[in-house]
Amino acid sequence: MKFGLVLAAVLVLTGCVAVPPPGPSDSEVVAMQERALQQTWERTGLEGDPPAVEAGPAMESEAWWQAIYDCVQERGFMITSMEWSSSSGAAIMTNSGDTIDDPETQRAFYECVAAHPLVLDERDMALTDAQLDYVYDYYQSWLVPCVIMQGYRLSDVPTRTEYRALAGQWSPFFAVDISISGADYERLERVCGAERPELY
């Protein structure tokens, strides 16, 4: 614990602790929503351009999931499994995780998703470049040195450009050269701090 406190003091004194950058702007949120909808269309496997659909008011997450299920059912189809993320859009699958190979079901699903926009929570959105840089700086100046000081070796630490390309899907805690146990993970968090700095 003392090492973490000393390292924190060094970082504060050297100016390495910064204020988190702002989250996505309104235009970036709109762009993310458009990308997610385009990804949803591509994941249906249907060819051509997506159909034009009149969108209703944006919905909060809890109501959105139910609205999609109800909308698809009203069109005469059933959803057994559904997933969504801001980076890959929405998709429906069978219970075993296979793609549903029925164009009519896929089209109905897409039209329902397009008709019911989802209010994006900042925590569900892809990080902006400024946020990715902030996290990367935290890793380079704080977390990576701390993990190494705890006796771990890190393999394949990405460059800043590579980290951006990975959309933040890398962490020093899970890049150690041995399989890390839950207990080791908790100890590293206690000593070195959070896996990702606070962004909101």
pLDDT single digits (tens) 67-78: 999 999 999 998
- pLDDT, one tens digit per residue, over 89-140 is 899 988 887 888 899 999 999 999 999 998 876 666 778 888 899 999 999 9
pLDDT(25) > 90: no
Measured in residues, the chain has a length of 200
Cβ pair 177, 155 in contact under 8 A:
yes
Token pair listed for 157: 């630490």
- 95 with 177, same domain? no
Average pLDDT, integer, range 175-182: 77
Averaged confidence pLDDT in the chain? 84
Q: Which of 124, 145, 173 is the last residue of a domain?
A: 124
pLDDT(180) > 80: no
In terms of residue numbers, what domain contains 72?
26-124
What is the structure's pLDDT at 122?
A: 67
Number of domains within the chain: 2
In a domain, 18, yes or no: no
- 50 with 117, same domain? yes
Residue 107's CB: how many other CB atoms inside 10 A?
17
